[in-house]
Amino acid sequence: MTELSAKIEAILFVSTKPVSAKFLATACSCQIDEVSIAIDELVSIRNVDTSGIHVVVGHEGVSLATNPAFASVIENLSKEDIEPELTRPSLETLTIIAYRGPITKPEIEAIRGINCTLILRNLLMRGLIDEAEDTVKLQPTYTLTNDALRYLGLHNVTELSDYAELHGNTKIDSLLATLTDESSPL
């Protein structure tokens, strides 16, 4: 492991939240591209079956998490802290955000065909999705958090089954385009 990778691993170990590549570059007095290479090295070292710690790279930044294969062991340690399982509508909404994010509330509702206000609030409160303002769409967009990736046992959203096909699905793109066309002024 390179010294830079070791420094980044140490920072991630003590951090309580995901850390951006920009922050890591500043903290380690290096360039962002060097940080990216070091993170890739950490991923190749840590994200293996025999490691108890994995590196999660998400929209919010980089963080450390336990190996998803050891979830049952961790679950036994903290059974009293575990929240109730997600409902089917929450899982559907989370899936749409995972595959199509960043995505707006009207776009989610167009896909699901039902109001999602309470579901989005619940997912935000659980820390499974992140809300950010989109300056182009002029409304909040939603993406998965690193906690959601951990919940799903993933290191990156692209590990989702059929991600490339569903993220760029032309039928869904057409549906969302008609939504955008309807909301634009005449």
> Which tens digits make up the pLDDT trace of 109-157?
988 888 898 899 889 988 899 999 887 777 899 999 988 888 788 888 8
> Residue 151's pLDDT is what?
77
Q: d(Cα 118, Cα 115) in Å, to the nearest integer?
A: 8
- Give CA 144 to chain center in angstroms: 3
Indicate whether 89 pLDDT > 70.
Answer: yes
- pLDDT class of 183 with cuts at 50, 70, 90: low
Kindly state whether residues 65 and 129 are assigned to the same domain: no
> Residue 83's pLDDT is what?
57
**Whole domain around residue 33: which residue ranges?**
3-74
Which residues on adjacent β-strands are paired with residue 54?
A: 65
Kindly state whether residues 87 and 58 are assigned to the same domain: no
The angle at the Cα of 181, spanning 183 to 139, to the nearest 5 degrees, equals 45
Q: Which of 30, 46, 74 is the last residue of a domain?
A: 74
Kindly state whether residues 24 and 113 are assigned to the same domain: no
> Residue 78's pLDDT is what?
55
Kindly state whether residues 42 and 90 are assigned to the same domain: no
> Residue 186's pLDDT is what?
44
Q: d(Cα 11, Cα 38) in Å, to the nearest integer?
A: 13
The angle at the Cα of 24, spanning 13 to 18, to the nearest 5 degrees, equals 50
Kindly state whether residues 90 and 179 are assigned to the same domain: yes
CA dihedral 73→61→180→166, nearest 10 degrees, is -50
| Tens digits of residue pLDDT in 19-75 | 999 999 999 999 999 999 999 999 999 999 999 999 999 888 999 998 988 888 877
> Residue 77's pLDDT is what?
66
Closest CA to 98 of 158, 169, 147: 158
At residue 53, the 3 state secondary structure works out as strand
**CATH code of residue 143:** 1.10.10.10
Kindly state whether residues 32 and 99 are assigned to the same domain: no
What average pLDDT score do residues 171-180 get? 74
> Residue 29's pLDDT is what?
95
pTM, two decimals, is 0.57
The domain tally of the chain equals 2
Kindly state whether residues 124 and 179 are assigned to the same domain: yes
Q: Are 159 and 141 in contact (CB under 8 A)?
A: no
Kindly state whether residues 179 and 93 are assigned to the same domain: yes
Kindly state whether residues 66 and 87 are assigned to the same domain: no
Kindly state whether residues 113 and 167 are assigned to the same domain: yes
- Cα-only R_g, the chain: 18
Kindly state whether residues 109 and 19 are assigned to the same domain: no
